[in-house]
Amino acid sequence: MSAHDDRLDLLLADADERRPVLDEGLPGDTARSAPRPRKGRDANHWRRTDADRNDLTLQRWAVIAPEGREGDRMMEAVQPLVALREREQGAPARVYRVPQGMDAKRSADFRRDIYWSEEVAEEDRPLYLMMLGDLHHTSLELQHALANDALAGRIHFADSAGDTDLAGYAAYAEKVVRYARRGAPEASPDLLFYVTPDGSAATVTGKARLVGPSLATATEASERGKLPAASVREISAGSVDDLLAGGGGARPSVLLSVSHGLGAPRRGWGREEDSWRRQGALVIGHDEILDAERLRGQTFLPGGMWFYLACLGAGTPAASVYHTWLSQLAQEDRYGGSLKAVLHSLPASGQRPFVAALPQTALANPAGPLAIIGHVDLAWTYGFSSATSLSEGKKSRIYRPLEVLVRGSRAGIALEALMELYRGANDELAQSYQIEADARAAGRADPTDRAGRAHLWMLRNDLRGYVLLGDPAVRLPLQQPALRADAPAPVDVRSTQAEEPAAGAASATSAPAREAAVLAMIRGDEAPRAIAARAMVSLETLWTWVDAYRAGGRERLVG
């Protein structure tokens, strides 16, 4: 094993030279000096463990919005999306209003006293939670707390001055509703992979341990009919234009990209507004950066999903979990000025946390993705490396969410595949500290593996940093439901646009067929376009049936 195989690589580039800030990484044993994580309760309480998690009639959907007039305006802007989810679940959407800037304690109190209130019937407790607002409106601490019990996602849109952009909220809501109602003509999505060809240690590691193995696994699974992807391919792009072209196809796609995220200049950002606008952008090369301004108005992953793996790609927190540890290493001055450059990209005291501008622009774009999984802290290669040997790849951690999305499940379920791994690492870490405490109390030597604990600490925090941006209930707008894990593959996955039903088809549809179509809509396992095609009616007629059934049941539907 080479010396570099056991190093910690960081996916962060500075805004001056657009080169990796920690190009040589850090020795693996530096994590031994990391602080003990705060004690927390990370149990998961699925409300309906025996039910299909894609079924909103069983799992329910709700909104979390900040208190005050600004939260009111956000709610008004996304009302069409709220109405869509209420129609899908057959019940009003619960709305939680929360104060701004909730810290970890208040977030834990909210989870215990409000979310898990005994006054809420179990069938009404929502599994899907869409948070509105920036990270200082509805806090990241709250999102982390709720991700232990629910499938949480967030949307926020800001203008160039950092103020809330209600037009962005409305555009995203309209896009989700449009895709839910009209769907796409394709039956299967494309699965795309991209690694920036900058030759840095971190991206080379990402290619070798994550993208290459994932590409091979997906290709084999697709060829064997075990993965319902129309195509599996790698995007070769040395420029922003090439990347946009590679991800600009009309077919809904799932993309995994691995790159450095743009960090601060070596002396820090001149203005806080500059960090809001540029931090976390996708760095391809010195003069090739995909930031919000470059993406605006471009077709990129329309109706698709994006796993954006880069430092600060989803946002910048109020306080990095790595700040204390990196500050200690910087004071030791063993690694030159590189660590100080990393610290420049972390928020200073009093600076507000924020959702990165690049995913905001992508989600607000009518021809952009429906959801993005990204990192709200420093992203290391630990997320796809073994916790016991950094030279060993663990691509399955990242590949699992991609597979979930390709199969047509909702975005929140894809993030949960990562959160399950986070909770496992957190439990192991807590157990290690408990074993040490027990040995100390009994007067025995500490039997714990400190190096292993250090690796667990890094893995836990790297996984914890991933969040979902977008409505957690969105899914690829495919013409028909994707294959389940144990379902046989179709002989031919190609599809054509459904023909318009003949005039009078709606009135000729039998009552049982109408009811079957409505119940299929309520279950949510198929795209509306596919249900309408099977019933031989237009989408508008199908939604009319759903409304009638909601209002008066079977008698109203067939009357």
What's the pLDDT tens digit per position in 495-549?
223 334 444 455 567 888 888 888 777 666 566 666 777 888 877 788 788 777 7
CATH (one of 3.40.50, 2.60.40, 2.40.160, 3.30.1360) for 56-182 = 3.40.50
Which residues share a beta bridge with 131? 64, 154
Map out the domains of the chain as residue ranges.
3-28+184-469, 56-182, 505-558
pLDDT in tens, 224-243: 999 999 999 999 999 999 99
- How far is residue 319's CA from residue 315's CA, in Å, rounded to a whole number? 12
Q: Which helix (H) or strand (E) holds 207?
A: none
- How far is residue 350's CA from residue 344's CA, in Å, rounded to a whole number? 14
- CA atoms within a 13 Å half-sphere pointing along the CA-CB vector of 412: 28
**pLDDT at position 334, please?**
57
**pLDDT at position 27, please?**
65
**Cβ–Cβ < 8 Å for 88, 177:** no
- In whole angstroms, how large is the CA radius of gyration of the chain? 24
Low-confidence residues in the chain, pLDDT < 70? 1-8, 24-51, 330-338, 387-391, 480-508, 522-530, 550-551, 559
Structure tokens at 83: 């109405």
**pLDDT at position 112, please?**
94
Strands (E), 156-228: 190-195
Structure tokens at 444: 């025995």
